[in-house]
Amino acid sequence: MKRKMKRWMQGTLAAVLAVSMLSACGGGNDKPSQGVEGEGAAKPFQGKKLSIATANHPWGDAIKELIPQFEEETGMKVDVQSYFEDQLSQKLTVQFTSGSATPDVFMYSPLQHAKQFYNNGWLQPLDEYVTKNADYDFEDFSKASVSTNTIDGKIVGIPTITEQHILYYRKDLLEEANIAVPKTMDELLAAAKALHDPSKEMYGFSARGQRSALVSQISSFMYSEGGEFMRDGKAFLNSPESVKGMNTYATLLRDFGPPGVLNMSWPQAIGVFAQGKSAFFADVNSIYLNAADPEKSTISDQIGYAVFPAGDAGSQPFNIASWGIAMNAKAADKDAAWAFIEWATSKEIMLETQKLGNPGSRLSVWASPEGTVAFPKELAEVTMETQKGGVDHSLPQVNAVGEARDIIGSIVQRAITGEDIQAAADQANKEFQALIDNESGQ
């Protein structure tokens, strides 16, 4: 009995020690050691710890590579955790709901989350930080990208990645068939039809067909016909313009798309294109490396880039800030958190990440010759051309974006499986209107 008791005591002791050690680590965040401040401004954050959450995205990968540089400069220790995009947003939501002070800084998708996160009090407004340091030059960020990160007049995040909707095509196939690069929707439909040959596993057009993922993609098709998700607080999904745009997209995927398109998000869709199995691919420009990297692609030297084709209302692709970086409103040390954001979005670092192929949000970086070295010349031209105009959102501007996406995405999915698109749009319009009314009523 006694011996048992002793062993039990040892176990308890070990557990108590472990817990106190853990809390000692946590406590380190709150109290900067006194001696360090004496060392001057060179390493103002010596010994601090910062936790960062990033998405598995090329920008996140690029910044991870550069972090040792930041640690060297500031003396901070940065702990990075990466997640798949969906998992990141779920993880953030769960952590913030439970009032967690970590992660201090995180990547987020402003169009999906800015409104909801800010309304829940999870985002630290950054207005006073962005003007603190004149060298930071906040005016340098493109207006559209800042407006995506602004809620109720407050800057809630700093744009890191901008994206435009463009058309990818196979130069060799178009040349062989003597087809010009499509400039209108009708030309695109005709070209996709001409190059569609399923018996040879060659498909005319690939793009996202998954219910929720496709919603941002149909936005440009709708805008270019004069359509919209909603207009003046009214759902606009079943208007002739919106339906025409969605119908073009559904037709391309149903009649000239690869098999299994209903389960494809962008990685699968660009995979089809990169394996040389589709003639056209439409999606954002920022993922071009998945097709242009010879290691991932069999057709890397045959890719052409074109401005989004024009519909009845001209070429109106979305032009947005798809990713930003934001601060947890409960972050333990906001100055340290801001130091990281400031560094990660500074001119120098944004040039570095852009050189690795991440289209950034600083105009000066785009204007510098170095800023476009990563991009194929044609892609840089198409990007700069698209940045002049375009629409600043690719998703409906409501709180419950996730729910709205499911409602809207089902229109195109039903059309792809052969159902009547107008009937599907009428039904979705009703559901979407109910969602809008419900939100404005609150």
Partner 1 sequence: MRTNWFDRNQKWIYTMPAVLFVLLMMVFPILYTFRISFYEWSMSSTTPPKWVGFDNYIALLSDARFWVTVKQTFIFTFGALIVQTVLGVAIAVLLHREFFGKNLVKTIFLLPMVATPVAMGLVWLLIYEPSIGAANTLLKMIGLSPQLWIASPSQVMPSLILMDVWMWTPMISLIVMAGLATLPTEPYEAADVDGASTWQKFWYVTLPLLRPTIIVAVMLRLIDVLKTFDIIYATTQGGPNMKSETLNIYGYTLGFQYFKLGMASTLLVIFFAIVMALTLLMIYVRKRLEVAS
- Residues of this chain that interact with partner 1 (CB under 8 A) are 1, 90, 93, 96-97, 99, 116, 119-122, 201, 209-211, 258-263, 272, 277, 400, 402-403, 406, 410, 413-414, 417
User: In angstroms, what is the minimal distance from the CB of 90 to partner 1?
Assistant: 6
Nearer to partner 1, 158 or 407 (CB): 407
Nearer to partner 1, 198 or 314 (CB): 198
Q: Terminal CA-to-CA distance of the chain, rounded, Å?
A: 64
User: In angstroms, what is the minimal distance from the CB of 270 to partner 1?
Assistant: 15
Token output for 109: 């998708």
Q: Which residues contact 119 (CB under 8 A, 6 or more apart)?
A: 151, 399
User: In angstroms, what is the minimal distance from the CB of 439 to partner 1?
Assistant: 11
DSSP annotation string for 269-314: HHHHHHTT-EEEEEEEGGGTHHHH-TTT-S-GGGEEEEEPPBBTTB
Nearer to partner 1, 104 or 241 (CB): 104
User: In angstroms, what is the minimal distance from the CB of 87 to partner 1?
Assistant: 10
How do beta strands 203-206 and 278-284 pair? parallel
User: In angstroms, what is the minimal distance from the CB of 93 to partner 1?
Assistant: 6
Nearer to partner 1, 32 or 276 (CB): 276
Alpha helices (H) in 52-126, listed in sequence order: 58-74, 85-97, 110-119
**Torsion angle defined by CA atoms of residues 370, 376, 377 and 378, in that order, rounded to the nearest 10 degrees:** -150
Nearer to partner 1, 392 or 403 (CB): 403
DSSP annotation string for 339-355: HHHHHHTSHHHHHHHHH
Token look-up 């940065």 returns: 78
User: In angstroms, what is the minimal distance from the CB of 262 to partner 1?
Assistant: 4
- Give the integer Cα–Cα distance in Å for 421 and 425: 6
Residue 21 identity? M
User: In angstroms, what is the minimal distance from the CB of 396 to partner 1?
Assistant: 14
How big, in percent rounded to 5, are the helix, strand and coil portions of the chain? 55, 15, 30
User: In angstroms, what is the minimal distance from the CB of 259 to partner 1?
Assistant: 4
Nearer to partner 1, 277 or 355 (CB): 277
Nearer to partner 1, 223 or 229 (CB): 229
- Give the integer Cα–Cα distance in Å for 92 and 88: 6
Phi and psi of 372, rounded to 5°? Answer: -110, 10
Q: Which residues contact 101 (CB under 8 A, 6 or more apart)?
A: 328, 330, 331, 332
Nearer to partner 1, 136 or 229 (CB): 229
Structure letter (DSSP) for residue 20? H
Nearer to partner 1, 171 or 277 (CB): 277
- Give the integer Cα–Cα distance in Å for 191 and 206: 13
Answer whether 379's CB lies under 8 Å from 288's CB: yes
Residue 65 identity? E
User: In angstroms, what is the minimal distance from the CB of 97 to partner 1?
Assistant: 5
Nearer to partner 1, 93 or 300 (CB): 93
Q: Which residues contact 289 (CB under 8 A, 6 or more apart)?
A: 58, 296, 357
User: In angstroms, what is the minimal distance from the CB of 409 to partner 1?
Assistant: 9
